[in-house]
């Protein structure tokens, strides 16, 4: 398509550099051709070279093994993961091979894109090892483990430190669950947060930009039950409005000093969203859907600062699964609507922010992807292969596998990043915006949510309180 350039007229002449560029696309998406005919599993974004524009970092291929030692879960890795960085114009900046010491599954290979060292250019951080320590089955149960820092411009390893140890866990299934995210523990300076463990012992460590330890915590240090409270993600969020990020493990929260803030003691939630769910409650809330069997309260919204339950689902639940949904999709109900469903039964519940059951359905997916697409206050959702209102006809078809939803082009609506064989595709709305708003990445909670999306399950980022 055509490219239009907007230049600034300054002191009687055109400025040396264009103020902005705009592309006229013949299709409702932008293409970034990959360096081969492969697909990718995850995507992160960050300004890797400091020029003010976002780059796109992928982890490929889309192969996944799981530590759970039952048929259909664990399988030997057939290749190694590669992390690759691309500009929007399709230029590949670099490739980093994670190697055979990192099994090809999301729980073995956490990574994050963020400017932690404060040089105005993002780095990439990831778990790493050495050599090929696989045993005869293909399991990696020994060998050194590290956190490494990759230079965002070149992909070269420029620093490393020890990862949290395997010691103390019952077996392979428990110690092969790793997370990495970012949090501003003092309210302004990014720190790296490493975690190991979900279903049993949980270890968490905060590091500064030089990999110096700020604190170490594990679940054995607490009087109350923090073990087994992990989710399938890890996010930094200021849950108590003190200006400093806490660490949301799942059904438990650590304060910024590395001490337990509160725990529900209910076990492991598959669904965990920190958001301003209910405008009638002061501050943020957390919506949960629990994988662990519950006699009651398997779905609940709690006050994020205290863990106090605001309302709960009163029926028994067996295994709420996937990532559910937390989004304002219906204008007639104040706040956000929340959805969760059973893994093994066709049961889906959609609740209002205040706990009113809006509908029970059997035909919904476990993980609809909500997004701001057309500029109105309500979000649309990706259901199947199209974007649509809730409920409503298709607005925009989507080809390929949806990998992420985020505001990566900056107009406060969200783009859909999809994987089509051999390309990264960015679907963007063509509907004019009714007003001007900041890019969503300017919102701290949203930015923390985007950073967390390359570790564990994909949870759509949420806005904080204005």
> Residue written as tokens 């799981």?
66
Helices (H), 144-201: 172-175
Is residue 72 assigned to a domain? yes
- Structural domain including 205 reads 35-265
DSSP one-letter string for 148-160: EEE-TTT--EEEE
Report the pLDDT value the prediction gives residue 300, as an integer from 0 to 100: 99
Q: Are residues 318 and 208 in the same domain?
A: no
Report the pLDDT value the prediction gives residue 10, as an integer from 0 to 100: 66
Give the residue-averaged pLDDT of 200-223: 99
Report the pLDDT value the prediction gives residue 2, as an integer from 0 to 100: 47
Enter the DSSP assignment of 442: G
Report the pLDDT value the prediction gives residue 83, as an integer from 0 to 100: 99
Q: Are residues 118 and 93 in the same domain?
A: yes
Give the residue-averaged pLDDT of 348-376: 96
* Residue 392: band (very low, low, confident or very high) from pLDDT cuts 50, 70, 90: confident
Q: Are residues 257 and 305 in the same domain?
A: no
Nearest Cα neighbor of 198 from 227, 171, 222 is: 227
Q: Are residues 290 and 171 in the same domain?
A: no
Comparing 258 with 465, which gets the higher pLDDT?
A: 258
Report the pLDDT value the prediction gives residue 15, as an integer from 0 to 100: 67
Q: Are residues 84 and 165 in the same domain?
A: yes
Q: Are residues 228 and 272 in the same domain?
A: no
pLDDT tens column, 315-356:
999 999 999 999 999 999 999 999 999 999 999 999 999 999
Q: What angle do CA 150, 151, 155 make, to 5 degrees?
A: 70
Report the SS3 class of residue 440.
Answer: helix
Domain boundary among 333, 367, 401: 367
Comparing 296 with 435, which gets the higher pLDDT?
A: 296
Beta-bridge partner residues of 9: 14
Res. 290: pLDDT tops 60: yes
Q: Are residues 76 and 217 in the same domain?
A: yes
Q: Are residues 204 and 73 in the same domain?
A: yes
Is residue 393 assigned to a domain? no
Domain boundary among 237, 265, 293: 265
Is 387:395 a contact under the CB 8 Å cutoff? Answer: yes
Report the pLDDT value the prediction gives residue 18, as an integer from 0 to 100: 57
Q: What is the distance between the terminal CA atoms of the chain, rounded to a whole angstrom?
A: 37
Question: C-alpha distances in angstroms, 459 versus 210, 293, 307?
Answer: 29, 22, 20
pLDDT tens column, 21-54:
555 567 899 999 999 999 999 999 999 999 999 9
Q: Are residues 305 and 324 in the same domain?
A: yes
Report the pLDDT value the prediction gives residue 25, as an integer from 0 to 100: 60
What's the alpha-carbon Rg for the chain, to the nearest Å?
Answer: 22
Res. 177: pLDDT tops 60: yes
Q: Please give the distance of CA 400 from its chain centroid, rounded to a whole number.
A: 20
Q: Are residues 58 and 178 in the same domain?
A: yes
* Residue 466: band (very low, low, confident or very high) from pLDDT cuts 50, 70, 90: confident
pLDDT tens column, 398-407:
999 999 999 9
Res. 274: pLDDT tops 50: yes
Q: Are residues 246 and 301 in the same domain?
A: no
Is residue 75 assigned to a domain? yes
Q: How far apart are CA 280 and CA 246, in angstroms?
A: 23
Is residue 24 assigned to a domain? no
Is residue 423 assigned to a domain? no
- Give the H/E segment covering residue 420: strand 415-420
Buried b (16+ CB within 10 A) or exposed e, 438-447: eebbebbbbb
pLDDT tens column, 58-102:
999 999 999 998 888 999 999 999 999 999 999 999 999 999 999
Count of domains observed in the chain: 2
Q: Are residues 50 and 170 in the same domain?
A: yes
pLDDT tens column, 119-156:
999 999 999 999 999 999 999 999 999 999 999 999 99
Domain boundary among 240, 265, 290: 265
Is residue 17 assigned to a domain? no
Q: What angle do CA 206, 212, 218 make, to 5 degrees?
A: 35
* Residue 169: band (very low, low, confident or very high) from pLDDT cuts 50, 70, 90: very high
Is residue 324 assigned to a domain? yes
Q: How far apart are CA 397 and CA 169, in angstroms?
A: 45
Is residue 218 assigned to a domain? yes
């Amino acid at each position: 398509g055509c490219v239009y350039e907007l230049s600034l007229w300054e002191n009687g002449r055109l400025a040396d550099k264009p103020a902005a560029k705009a592309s006229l696309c013949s299709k409702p998406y932008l293409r970034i051709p990959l360096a081969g005919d492969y697909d990718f599993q995850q995507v992160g974004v960050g300004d890797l070279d400091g020029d003010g524009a976002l780059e796109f970092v992928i982890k490929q291929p889309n192969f996944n093994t799981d530590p759970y030692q039952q048929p259909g879960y664990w399988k030997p890795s057939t290749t190694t993961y590669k992390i690759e960085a691309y500009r929007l114009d399709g230029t590949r900046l670099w490739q980093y091979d994670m190697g055979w010491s990192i099994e090809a599954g999301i729980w073995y290979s956490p990574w994050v894109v963020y400017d932690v060292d404060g040089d105005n250019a993002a780095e990439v951080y990831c778990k790493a090892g050495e050599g090929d320590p696989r045993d005869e089955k293909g399991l990696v149960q020994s060998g050194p483990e590290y956190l490494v820092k990759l230079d965002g411009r070149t992909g070269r390893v420029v620093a490393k430190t020890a990862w949290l140890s395997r010691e103390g866990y019952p077996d392979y299934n428990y110690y092969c669950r790793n997370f990495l995210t970012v949090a501003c523990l003092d309210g302004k300076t990014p720190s790296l947060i490493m975690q190991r463990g979900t279903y049993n012992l949980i270890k968490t460590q905060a590091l500064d930009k030089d990999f110096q330890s700020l604190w170490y915590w594990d679940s054995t240090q607490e009087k109350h039950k923090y073990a087994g409270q992990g989710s399938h993600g890890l996010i930094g969020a200021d849950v108590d409005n003190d200006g400093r990020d806490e660490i949301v493990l799942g059904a438990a929260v650590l304060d910024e000093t590395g001490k337990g803030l509160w725990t529900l003691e209910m076990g492991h939630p598959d669904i965990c969203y920190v958001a301003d769910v209910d405008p009638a409650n002061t501050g943020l809330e957390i919506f949960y859907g629990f994988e662990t069997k519950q006699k009651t309260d398997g779905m609940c919204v709690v006050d994020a600062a205290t863990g106090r339950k605001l309302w709960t689902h009163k029926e028994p639940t067996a295994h709420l699964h996937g990532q559910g949904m937390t989004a304002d999709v219906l204008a007639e109900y104040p706040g956000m609507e929340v959805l969760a469903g059973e893994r093994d039964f066709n049961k889906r519940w959609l609740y209002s922010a205040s706990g009113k059951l809006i509908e029970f359905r059997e035909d919904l997916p476990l993980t609809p992807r909500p997004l701001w697409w057309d500029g109105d206050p309500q979000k649309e959702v990706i259901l199947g292969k199209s974007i649509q209102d809730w409920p409503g006809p298709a607005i925009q078809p989507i080809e390929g596998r949806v990998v992420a939803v985020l505001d990566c082009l900056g107009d406060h609506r969200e783009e859909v990043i999809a994987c089509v064989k051999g390309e990264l595709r960015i679907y963007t709305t063509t509907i004019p915006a009714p007003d001007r708003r900041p890019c969503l990445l300017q919102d701290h909670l949203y930015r923390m949510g985007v950073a967390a999306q390359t570790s564990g399950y994909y949870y759509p980022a949420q806005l904080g309180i204005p």
